[in-house]
């Protein structure tokens, strides 16, 4: 068997950062008053300090952007290089196109001292041009990074919520229902974010000889509050014996199943393709696939670096477009240790079903809806080639039962030895399998059959199936 696959169910949840007693006291005051307006998450002093830092970063970014002098020098140097590259209309300085003895154009003679000068000056100007161009590109890159940092700080400072008043009767009802399950409740508060999503926070502990599951508590809360709730983030499996804060968020409209099938190039022991499924924020699944240049350990390390960078930037709060630009800038700055890897990104909002694709030098992706298949592709270069990336975000709204299929170049190479890659959408439309893992393995085996069992390049198939929660 050439392919290997696995499948997993992913409910995107927010990680709980721990209960703070100081916050709990404030919650009681808010609940008593039944606040109907949105309040900032950060205290006023901390919010103002963060906004001040954001303004500083924004001013620095504008300072880098408002530097026209270097651009004029760059344009002047470029014009000089272009002038040296253009042949003159006539005269002794031309090596070709001069008049020879018979009056026909051909190779003529050029004075040695003029030839030496012509060689020396263009080289110096070309070096100056390249250095100044690198300075301008680095300046623009730095300005973009500083501006993104300012925006992240501003978003954090302006993050707000609204407390939803819970009547004393409702709180007692919750406490009584939990006590029936041998769970003691200390505090509870319900809040709503600006995006309309609700969450409930409880401080509770398990009673003597009790070992209740955190997920079962969520089911109980869903019934009592008439709101579908699931544990947030990397919650513990069971309610502990100590007073601890537990967070439950509103369940997304959709859930997903994922499947992956891979085959390693026949002359290598390790695949140059790497991938990741990331839960970067509440209700958002990000799927990333990177194909390293070449194959083997070097390609694996290159693509692994791309995936690692992407995870860290997204977790830090950077927009995916900015993360791509920053990764590309880092690869360009690597110089001799050149890393030219592809990057395929698919970000799915499980509350709305909206999916966004960004493709950098990668193979096409496909959206399958029953027997209809749409190809999503982009004609651009991999990361690490040019400073400026031709990047476009493609948006699609997915529905219950849709599938997202992402591939590496090895799949298309295998198809080119058989029916041809242009026939892939037709083949995908005929697949009746429902399990994403089985679908990924089926696609891989079909491509291996087309290449007569030969694996001339690393092959990876990723399938994401989306279904509406009942």
Residue 145 CA to residue 34 CA, distance in Å, equals 41
Same domain, 292 and 405: yes
Specify the residue for token string 């392919």: 3
Residue 42: what pLDDT? 61
Same domain, 33 and 47: no
For each of the chain's 470 residues, which pLDDT tens digit applies? Answer: 344 333 333 333 333 333 333 334 334 433 444 455 556 656 676 777 778 877 887 887 787 777 655 555 555 555 555 554 444 444 444 443 444 444 444 444 445 554 555 555 555 566 766 667 667 777 777 777 788 788 888 877 777 778 888 888 999 999 999 999 999 999 998 888 877 888 899 999 999 888 899 999 999 999 999 999 999 876 788 999 999 999 999 999 999 999 999 999 998 999 999 999 998 888 899 999 999 988 889 999 999 999 999 999 898 888 899 899 889 888 877 665 677 899 999 999 999 999 999 999 999 999 999 999 999 998 888 998 887 788 889 999 999 999 999 999 999 999 988 888 899 999 999 999 999 999 999 999 999 999 999 999 999 999 999 999 98
Give the angle subtended at the CA of 303 by the CAs of 301 and 304, to the nearest 5°.
60
Same domain, 181 and 315: no
Same domain, 179 and 302: no
DSSP class of 16 = P
Same domain, 142 and 74: yes
Strand-pairing partners, residue 459, are 263
What is the length of the chain?
470
The shares of helix, strand and coil residues in the chain, as percent rounded to the nearest 5, are 40, 25, 35
Same domain, 18 and 80: no
Domain annotation covers residue 2: no
Same domain, 443 and 318: yes
The pTM score is 0.74
Report which secondary-structure segment, H or E, holds 446.
helix 436-450
Domain annotation covers residue 305: yes
Same domain, 319 and 436: yes
- Read off φ and ψ for residue 58, nearest 5 degrees: -65, -40
Report which secondary-structure segment, H or E, holds 69.
helix 68-85
Same domain, 240 and 311: no
CB–CB of 57/153 below 8 Å? yes
Query: How many domains does one find in the chain?
Result: 3
CATH number of the structural domain spanning residue 343: 3.60.40.10
Strand-pairing partners, residue 460, are 262
Residue 76 CA to residue 83 CA, distance in Å, equals 11
**End-to-end Cα, the chain, rounded Å:** 36
Domain boundary among the residues 120, 140, 158 is at 158
Give the angle subtended at the CA of 119 by the CAs of 115 and 121, to the nearest 5°.
115
Cβ neighbours of 82 (radius 10 Å):
11
Domain annotation covers residue 95: no
Residue 35: what pLDDT? 52
Specify the residue for token string 């590309």: 328
DSSP class of 409 = H
CB–CB of 277/346 below 8 Å? no
Residue 394: what pLDDT? 95
Domain annotation covers residue 236: yes
CB–CB of 132/77 below 8 Å? yes
Largest CA distance in the chain: 111
Residue 314 CA to residue 304 CA, distance in Å, equals 16
Cβ neighbours of 257 (radius 10 Å):
19
Annotate 373-393 with DSSP letters as a single string.
EEEE------TTS-SS----E
Same domain, 167 and 21: yes
- Read off φ and ψ for residue 336, nearest 5 degrees: -65, -35
Same domain, 319 and 199: no
Tell me if residue 219 falls in helix, strand or coil: helix
Domain that holds residue 245: 12-40+160-250
Domain boundary among the residues 250, 282, 306 is at 250
Domain annotation covers residue 126: yes
Residue 358 CA to residue 365 CA, distance in Å, equals 10
- Read off φ and ψ for residue 275, nearest 5 degrees: -145, 170
Residue 72: what pLDDT? 52
Specify the residue for token string 């990741």: 276
Residue 13 CA to residue 11 CA, distance in Å, equals 6
Residue 173: what pLDDT? 92
- Kindly report, residue by residue over 81-120, the tens digit of the pLDDT: 555 444 444 444 444 344 444 444 444 444 555 455 555 5
Domain annotation covers residue 5: no
CB–CB of 192/198 below 8 Å? yes
Domain annotation covers residue 100: no
Domain annotation covers residue 103: no
Tell me if residue 412 falls in helix, strand or coil: helix
CB–CB of 159/166 below 8 Å? no
> Residue 84's Cα: distance from chain center in Å?
44
Same domain, 319 and 420: yes
Domain boundary among the residues 250, 283, 304 is at 250
């Amino acid at each position: 068997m050439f392919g290997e696959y696995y499948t997993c169910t992913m409910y995107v949840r927010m990680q709980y950062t721990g209960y703070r007693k100081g916050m709990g006291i404030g919650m009681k005051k808010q609940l008593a008053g039944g606040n109907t307006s949105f309040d900032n998450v950060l205290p006023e002093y901390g919010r103002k300090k963060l906004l001040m830092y954001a303004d500083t970063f924004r001013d620095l970014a504008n300072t880098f952007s408002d530097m026209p002098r270097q651009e004029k020098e760059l344009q002047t140097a470029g014009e000089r290089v272009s002038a040296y590259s253009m042949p003159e209309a006539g005269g002794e300085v031309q090596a070709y196109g001069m008049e020879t003895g018979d009056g026909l154009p051909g190779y003529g003679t050029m004075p040695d001292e003029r030839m030496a000068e012509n060689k020396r000056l263009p080289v110096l100007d070309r070096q100056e041009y390249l250095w100044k161009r690198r300075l301008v590109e680095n300046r623009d890159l730095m300005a973009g990074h500083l501006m993104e940092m300012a925006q992240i700080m501003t978003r954090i400072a302006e993050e707000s919520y609204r407390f939803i008043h819970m009547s004393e009767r409702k709180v007692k009802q919750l406490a009584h229902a939990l006590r029936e399950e041998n769970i003691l409740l200390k505090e509870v508060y319900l809040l709503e974010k600006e995006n309309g999503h609700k969450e409930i926070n409880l401080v509770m502990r398990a009673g003597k000889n009790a070992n209740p599951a955190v997920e079962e508590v969520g089911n109980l809360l869903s019934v009592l509050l008439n709101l579908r709730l699931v544990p947030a983030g990397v919650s513990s499996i069971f309610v502990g014996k100590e007073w601890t804060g537990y967070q439950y968020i509103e369940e997304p409209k959709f859930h997903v199943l994922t499947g992956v099938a891979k085959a390693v190039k026949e002359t290598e022991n390790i695949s140059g393709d790497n991938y990741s499924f990331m839960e970067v924020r509440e209700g958002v699944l990000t799927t990333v696939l990177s194909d390293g240049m070449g194959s083997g350990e070097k390609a694996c390390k290159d693509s692994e670096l791309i995936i690692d960078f992407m995870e860290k930037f997204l977790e830090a709060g950077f927009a995916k477009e900015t993360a791509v630009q920053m990764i590309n800038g880092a690869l360009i700055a690597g110089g001799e240790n050149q890393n030219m890897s592809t990057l395929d990104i698919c970000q799915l909002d499980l509350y709305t079903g909206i999916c966004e694709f960004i493709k950098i030098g990668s193979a096409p992706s496909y959206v399958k809806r029953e027997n209809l298949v749409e190809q999503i592709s982009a004609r651009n270069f991999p990361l690490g080639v040019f400073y400026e990336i031709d990047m476009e975000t493609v948006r699609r709204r997915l529905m219950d039962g849709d599938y997202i299929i992402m591939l590496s170049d090895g799949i298309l190479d295998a198809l080119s030895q058989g029916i041809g890659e242009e026939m892939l959408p037709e083949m995908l439309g005929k697949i009746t399998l429902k399990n994403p893992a089985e679908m990924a393995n089926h696609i891989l085996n079909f491509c291996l059959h087309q290449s007569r069992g030969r694996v001339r390049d690393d092959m990876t198939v990723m399938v994401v199936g989306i279904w509406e929660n009942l």
